[in-house]
Amino acid sequence: MITPALFLLIYLGLFLYSGSALGVGLVVAGGVLLVTALVGFCGLYRLLGIHTNQPNEQL
């Protein structure tokens, strides 16, 4: 789900803190969140071994 907070991070990074390390970090964080939302896959979950799907019950 794409949220307004994602666009806020990118906006702050590009316009308010442009040219600083904080600005670059905000743009990178916003970009990662945007790609994760568009693709529907979070690589951090895989690295941490988190599974959000429910296992199928065997009858």
Q: Please tell me the predicted confidence (pLDDT) of residue 48.
A: 93
- Measured CA to CA, the distance from residue 33 to residue 10 in angstroms comes to 10
User: Whole domain around residue 26: which residue ranges?
Assistant: 4-38
Position 33 in a domain: yes
Task: Give the chain's domain count.
Answer: 1
Position 17 in a domain: yes
Q: Please tell me the predicted confidence (pLDDT) of residue 59.
A: 58
pLDDT tens digits for the chain (59 residues)? 678 888 888 889 889 898 899 989 989 988 888 888 889 888 888 899 888 887 777 65
Q: Please tell me the predicted confidence (pLDDT) of residue 54.
A: 75
- Measured CA to CA, the distance from residue 1 to residue 36 in angstroms comes to 9
DSSP codes joined into one string, 7-31: HHHHHIIIIISTTSHHHHHHHHHHH
Q: Please tell me the predicted confidence (pLDDT) of residue 43.
A: 85
Position 52 in a domain: no
- Measured CA to CA, the distance from residue 31 to residue 23 in angstroms comes to 12
